[in-house]
Amino acid sequence: MDKINAKVGDTIKGDQWRWAYRLETDDGFKDSGFPGCQFRVHLDDKDIKLAVNVKTTGRPRWNGQRYQSRCKIEFVGDYEPSTFSGGLLYHIESCPFKR
């Protein structure tokens, strides 16, 4: 199965989320209780940036406007266990696979 990896600028929408949020660059912070993350997600209504890892779990599909893939979102724990959610990854680039 052909998959596209998440990139900065793509957006994610958790299964129970009302809105999709853009993936931003990680700040590179790591310590003994925080292993680091691939991306940050800035919540619009708060000055909070969540640390997330995104793994594509499905092949890209055209939804009429852009390509989307099922994904697994990891909310990286800071001295706590990580939590996970299913969701959709919306790609900013064209899909190299045929529709």
Domain ranges of the chain: 11-90
Residue 36 has pLDDT above 70, yes or no: yes
Residue 86 has pLDDT above 50, yes or no: yes
Q: 3-state SS string over the chain? A: CCCCCCCCCCEEEECCCCCCEEEEECCCCCECCECCCCEEEEECCCCEEEEEEEEECCCCEECCCCEEEEEEEEECCCCCCCEEEEEEEECCCCCCCCC
- Cα–Cα distances in Å, from 93 out to 6, 33, 40, 63, 67? 10, 34, 19, 14, 8
Rounded average pLDDT over 2-31? 92
pTM of the model: 0.87
